[in-house]
């Protein structure tokens, strides 16, 4: 996945429409105060708009269809806007216990021959180097190739995953959902969660 040019003005000009209990959902409002490079952070965030699912702890929902919005009147905020006309794209009653941090980070590679492609930073348990860096899509596929087929890595974002590693490097930490710990949903709904996350992951 390449960090292509994005039209930030579109993200500022959106008219937010939020329905139901999402109106007061603070999990969908992310503070950007910690980012020293605000424009760079906004451009980076827009690369993943609708490409990674969002999990909200407070309402136990997974949002798969949304826009990213930067309110002009609320400086240094990023707002996730679920599509109010696509209720079928929201999975409800997903328990927090099923969603865990992975330690995996997505970062831009500004120095690669392919300008501004995305890299996956993988923590290492052994060796002299603390991390391994692999192109994003290749890295995700490599991880899943080494996992049991019925327990794939299913990445999600939660509030707090959007971070700045240093003064010029925005990053996204990844959570993952364990579908074996999701109770209360039908097999069709569980299969739907798996399918949509894997489809989005394949396009990264």
Which pLDDT score, from 0 to 100, does residue 159 have?
96
Spatial distance between the Cα atoms of 131 and 88, rounded to a whole number of angstroms: 38
SS3 87: helix
Confidence of residue 144 (pLDDT cuts 50, 70, 90): very high
Spatial distance between the Cα atoms of 189 and 92, rounded to a whole number of angstroms: 9
Q: Is the pLDDT of residue 128 over 90?
A: no
Q: Is the pLDDT of residue 61 over 90?
A: yes
Confidence of residue 173 (pLDDT cuts 50, 70, 90): very high
Q: What is the dihedral of CA 178, 59, 193, 161, to 10 degrees?
A: -60
Which pLDDT score, from 0 to 100, does residue 23 have?
59
Q: Is the pLDDT of residue 7 over 70?
A: no
Spatial distance between the Cα atoms of 198 and 196, rounded to a whole number of angstroms: 6
Residue % of the chain over a pLDDT of 90:
61
Q: Where are the beta strands (DSSP E) in the chain?
A: 29-31, 53-56, 61-63, 66-69, 77-82, 90-91, 99-109, 117-123, 131-135, 155-157, 162-166, 169-177
**Range with lowest mean pLDDT among 49-53, 104-108, 115-119, 178-182:** 115-119
Which pLDDT score, from 0 to 100, does residue 87 have?
81
pTM: 0.86
Contacts of 42 by beta carbon, 8 Å cutoff, 6+ apart: 8, 11, 32, 70, 78
How many residues are recorded in the chain?
Answer: 204
Query: 29 pairs with which residues across the strands?
Result: 79
The larger pLDDT score, comparing residue 59 to residue 85, is at 59
Q: Is the pLDDT of residue 53 over 70?
A: yes
Which pLDDT score, from 0 to 100, does residue 37 have?
87
Confidence of residue 112 (pLDDT cuts 50, 70, 90): low
Confidence of residue 184 (pLDDT cuts 50, 70, 90): confident
Q: Is the pLDDT of residue 168 over 60?
A: yes
**Range with lowest mean pLDDT among 61-70, 123-132, 144-153, 156-165:** 123-132
Which pLDDT score, from 0 to 100, does residue 21 have?
57
CB distance 189 to 91 below 8 Å: yes
The larger pLDDT score, comparing residue 149 to residue 87, is at 149
Give me 41's structure tokens: 């952070």
Residue 194: its H or E element: helix 187-202
Give me 156's structure tokens: 């999600």
Q: Is the pLDDT of residue 60 over 80?
A: yes
């Amino acid at each position: 996945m390449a960090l292509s040019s994005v039209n930030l003005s579109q993200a500022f000009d959106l008219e937010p429409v939020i329905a139901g209990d999402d109106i007061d959902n603070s999990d969908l409002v992310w503070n950007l105060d910690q980012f020293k490079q605000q424009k760079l952070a906004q451009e980076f965030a827009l690369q993943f708009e609708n490409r990674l699912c969002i999990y909200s702890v407070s309402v136990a929902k997974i949002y798969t269809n949304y826009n990213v919005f930067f309110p002009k009147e609320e400086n240094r905020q990023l707002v996730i806007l679920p599509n109010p006309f696509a209720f079928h794209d929201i999975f409800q009653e997903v328990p927090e216990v099923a969603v865990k941090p992975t330690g995996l980070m997505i970062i831009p590679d500004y120095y690669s021959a392919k300008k501004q492609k995305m890299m996956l930073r993988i923590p290492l348990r052994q060796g002299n180097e603390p991390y391994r860096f692999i192109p994003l899509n290749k890295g995700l596929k490599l991880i899943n190739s080494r996992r049991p087929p019925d327990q794939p890595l299913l990445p999600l974002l939660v509030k707090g995953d959007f971070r700045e590693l240093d003064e010029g490097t925005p990053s996204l930490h990844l959570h993952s959902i364990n579908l074996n710990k999701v109770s209360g949903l039908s097999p069709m709904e569980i299969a739907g969660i798996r399918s949509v996350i894997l489809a989005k992951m394949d396009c990264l």
